[in-house]
Structure 1
């Protein structure tokens, strides 16, 4: 922590006191932190909270990302991933093609398979139920983290049923957790500008609340650095914080810097490294009830993700493999990292690596469950 005089000079003395006392910051205090010109002062506060919660531990996961299709009806202006059906670059994987990707990595000690895609106009819910059951058969014990709240809402519209019913059917088929995508920024103004045909911010929160009520944990994201104001960022964080007060269902928050390449967002400024680190730090300080903050190396780059571990983040995500969404928007990071590389990156940053599953349970416990599950087949 920097000397108290630094925070007095910056007008943040009371903020420092509240952070040290573990008291909740209000939106006005969050805005002052986002406006603060002294990045290190903000980072030091976030690092204090991160250390209080997690000590020297930094988490990672051995996982596999699978994007089943980029055909999407939403037409979000910030998305470089989506394509209209039949257009150049559009793709759609069959269930068997997805299962083959799973089989190709049976030699890897994967604990999480992460599945998301576009809102395809024709793929029905029963296809995804079959997919989850088949993956569960091939890799019993693996955690299945799949389908954003936006996809859940899309499935419900196609089937003419409630989102709660969709969640219940997927849960019965083997779904463990929802990823946090599709949240973007909840501001109605921003969604009118960038994704008017997508599930609203309130709709996203409703679907996630239903998941939490069913015992399905989720992550949460925020896509920042496009057209939103600092106030809209803070309102987004506050909405997540208030829902977490109700449900305690969020596991991890992932701030995602906007990648402007190949998108339709005019005059998009994108983000700088300073802005990314400050936003990660303020997220850690504001989200006092969400246990983990992820430095998603795919979007940040590996080098900045290492630095982010000193600005409030305690997780680097994982091995990933074949991520398409960020890279199609211009992400310049690697496509995959090995367990050895992740552990080296964490140690070089001054932390102790701990392998986890999607619930942040230590992997030794998960591997034991996997062996038990295989023995029961």
Structure 2
């Protein structure tokens, strides 16, 4: 196996396998990856225009009981600084965002065991009714799994209720790295890789669109990255429900991992991940960069 053989295979519109992907990730130079990724980008989207979304990212609660070691956001019930906003308060925030030209609300929060399922449904219903100019892109897989737990409903019924309320897409947060070896170390209470994939699969069956995400730069290795991309590529083959892939790097500041992983992943690594994922995820129309997570210069 050589890099030139892999490049030729990709340019012939043939899918590379896991082993070829791993070899490419480990051995290709950034500029070569970028050139190849750019070719693919223009095959899929010939228009040279790059699009973007005007969105807002509010949180309705920071109460959470799953203790992810990479998270600087959560608070336990009763701790100083905890908050849970009412549906009224959140809808008002959405209205304020809409006045500023925001078109999408990416709404997420902690996994708060005190919130009933109807809270989440009402959030969708009232957003659709009272702020029709914004698109509700609500709730990560972890929150949806919690809805199923507190309601006693099946996952498919929870998703169907959200769909019937007017929600059409869900964010890809909560994936981190879809490697149970890593998940056991960084988010052991958050569920397995299969849990995340199952929520997405059930959502796509109903008709939801979603993003797929990946957080790297912590305890993962190259094999874990390939595992992650492989399983989302396989799921995309089933339902074509993912609209974009969105990677971002772990930020250790103010997290329990800060002393263990004190350094940030480099901009070069981010560009490598963006380019490589564009090559490997041959069934994704879009790879989304983020200046919000990586800074404007890199993103």
For Structure 1 versus Structure 2, the TM-score category normalised by the shorter chain is: over 0.9
Which one of 16, 30, 33 corresponds to residue 42 of structure 1? 33
Q: Where do 4+ consecutive residues of structure 1 move more than 6 Å?
A: none
**2:6 corresponds to 1:15:** yes
Is the Cα contact below 8 Å between 2:141 and 2:173 reproduced in 1? yes
**2:276 corresponds to 1:285:** no
Is the Cα contact below 8 Å between 2:33 and 2:272 reproduced in 1? yes
The equivalent residue for 2:268 is: 274
Three-state SS of the structure 2 residue aligned to 1:193 is: helix
**2:27 corresponds to 1:29:** no
**2:285 corresponds to 1:294:** no
Which one of 117, 142, 149 corresponds to residue 125 of structure 1? 117
Higher-RCO chain (CA-CA 8 Å, sequence separation at least 6)? 1
Could you tell me how far apart the structure 2 residues matched to 1:165 and 1:70 are? 26
Could you tell me how far apart the structure 1 residues matched to 2:137 and 2:295 are? 23
The equivalent residue for 1:65 is: 57
Deviation at 1:85, TM superposition (A): 1.6
Please report the TM-score for the alignment, with normalisation by the length of structure 2: 0.95
Could you tell me how far apart the structure 2 residues matched to 1:259 and 1:162 are? 34
Calculate the aligned-residue CA RMSD, in Å. 1.5
Distance 1:106 1:298, change over 3 A: closer
Three-state SS of the structure 2 residue aligned to 1:88 is: coil
Deviation at 1:140, TM superposition (A): 2.1
Could you tell me how far apart the structure 1 residues matched to 2:138 and 2:118 are? 15
The equivalent residue for 2:155 is: 163
Three-state SS of the structure 1 residue aligned to 2:175 is: coil
Is the Cα contact below 8 Å between 1:36 and 1:42 reproduced in 2? no
Is the Cα contact below 8 Å between 1:188 and 1:201 reproduced in 2? yes
Could you tell me how far apart the structure 1 residues matched to 2:5 and 2:82 are? 52
Is the Cα contact below 8 Å between 1:34 and 1:230 reproduced in 2? yes
**2:45 corresponds to 1:51:** no
Q: Which runs of 5+ in 1 are unaligned?
A: 1-7, 306-377
Deviation at 1:110, TM superposition (A): 3.2
The equivalent residue for 2:178 is: 186
Aligned residues: 296
Could you tell me how far apart the structure 2 residues matched to 1:107 and 1:191 are? 40
Is the Cα contact below 8 Å between 2:168 and 2:207 reproduced in 1? no
Deviation at 1:37, TM superposition (A): 5.5
Q: Could you tell which deviates more after superposition, 123-132 or 32-41?
A: 32-41
Which one of 67, 72, 75 corresponds to residue 67 of structure 2? 75
